[in-house]
Amino acid sequence: MELPKGCQYCIRGEKLVLFITGLCNQNCYYCPLSEKRKGKDVIYANERQITSIEEVIEEAYLCSSKGVGITGGNPLLRIDRTCEYLKALKDEFGEKFHAHLYTTPDLIDKEKLEKLQDAGLDEIRLHPTKIFNEGANTEYYKLLLDKLKLCMEYIEDVGVEIPSIPNMEKEILNLAYKLDEIGVKFLNINELEFSETTYDTLIAKGFEVKDDISSAIKGSEETALYVSENFKGNMIINYCPSSLKDNIQLRNRLINRAKNVAKDYEVITDEGLLLRGIMIFDNKEDLEEIAEILRDNEVEFEIVENKIYLNPFVLEDLIEEMKRARYEIKFSAYISEVYPTVDALEVERIPLVTKKLKFRRRK
């Protein structure tokens, strides 16, 4: 079965995640938003906090994005901002730049759908929160189905996206048949995960971690698989495991960005991170001397304050060479592994020279 279009861009790492606001009118106990985003009216393009349309376009270029997933919070609480950003992306990258948006059924109305249609939205995904928080009654299902039908009048692809709550197979199957009956295109079921903000709540509710290597919740996968195996309708049911999000989607997105932002001396790892060698000097004279050697040998490098940034493998060779030649220069050195994001968050530091080795100065 074919994946929903938005998911195809996501898996290839070609989706720009546009977090349009942290504001939300729901209060899901499993909401994974971090403290710095939850309830805050902030905008992020992938991992980068932004304040303008120019920045979102720049980020889309840097990540070689071919589509956008507009999320939050609840984007419909900032409908004009959502449409303004969406239209700007469509104008810049063309009609084929695929756009999907996540929201809840309660905020859907004709006026907002018209605006989204005019801005070029291709796909909408409704999250029926009530089913998973309080349990839904007939009235809520009616509202959900009516809102989905309304969406179908304006947006080409209409789907539903839900968390896979352990032991809710029956409710989810029941939902799936109702959606199928009215022609909803797909049901996306996400594996439930612990996050920094939900850990205590989920533990208090009796959920357990699946294994030692992930933050996924025990039983969530089984529930999703039960639904996909037992559903006999026509609608696409797509299960999205947390490992797919972390290992493939994020990795591909980082690789795409790394290819565009890596300096000549940096090495891109298989995970899409950047490796760089760094030398730190106590005095400028020593730094200049090493810089001169690097220039003589046509080695790519960059000077930032009292540091030299260079290829990590060249740095290792250089240190060996300096030890052999017994240079008398004081410096420390390490290999730094960073995200290819704006903040260049460091994930690992491998020390090479820690004790300010003294090499004898060249005559």
Task: Catalog residues that contact ligand SF4 under the rule CB under 6 A.
Answer: 24, 26-28, 31, 33, 72-74, 104, 127, 129
Of 115 and 127, which CB lies nearer to ligand SF4 in the complex structure?
127
Of 13 and 73, which CB lies nearer to ligand SF4 in the complex structure?
73
Q: Least distance to ligand SF4 from the beta carbon of 61, Å? A: 28
Fill in the DSSP letter of residue 361.
Answer: P
Q: Least distance to ligand SF4 from the beta carbon of 103, Å? A: 8
Question: Which candidate, 160, 192, 190, places its Cα nearest to that of 178?
Answer: 160
Neighbours of 94 (CB within 10 A): 9
Instruction: With beta carbons less than 8 A apart as the criterion, state whether 289 and 359 touch.
Output: no
Of 108 and 322, which CB lies nearer to ligand SF4 in the complex structure?
108
Of 177 and 199, which CB lies nearer to ligand SF4 in the complex structure?
199
Q: Least distance to ligand SF4 from the beta carbon of 351, Å? A: 41
> What 3-state DSSP class applies to 164?
strand
Instruction: With beta carbons less than 8 A apart as the criterion, state whether 66 and 99 touch.
Output: no
Of 163 and 241, which CB lies nearer to ligand SF4 in the complex structure?
163
Q: Least distance to ligand SF4 from the beta carbon of 166, Å? A: 17
Q: Least distance to ligand SF4 from the beta carbon of 76, Å? A: 11
Give CA–CA dist 82/88, Å, rounded. 10
Where do the DSSP E strands lie in 173-261?
186-191, 236-240
Give CA–CA dist 199/68, Å, rounded. 29
> What 3-state DSSP class applies to 59?
helix
Instruction: With beta carbons less than 8 A apart as the criterion, state whether 89 and 57 touch.
Output: yes
Of 29 and 61, which CB lies nearer to ligand SF4 in the complex structure?
29
> What 3-state DSSP class applies to 213?
coil
Give CA–CA dist 27/130, Å, rounded. 10
Instruction: Give, to the nearest 10 degrees, the angle between helix 138-154 and helix 110-119.
Output: 40
Of 43 and 274, which CB lies nearer to ligand SF4 in the complex structure?
43
Q: Least distance to ligand SF4 from the beta carbon of 105, Å? A: 11
| Cis previous bond, 73, omega within 30 | yes
> Please, which residues have CB within 8 angstroms of residue 212's CB and are 6 or more apart in sequence?
none
Of 194 and 334, which CB lies nearer to ligand SF4 in the complex structure?
194
Q: Least distance to ligand SF4 from the beta carbon of 28, Å? A: 3
Give CA–CA dist 160/165, Å, rounded. 15
Identify the H or E element spanning 86. helix 79-93
Q: Least distance to ligand SF4 from the beta carbon of 264, Å? A: 41
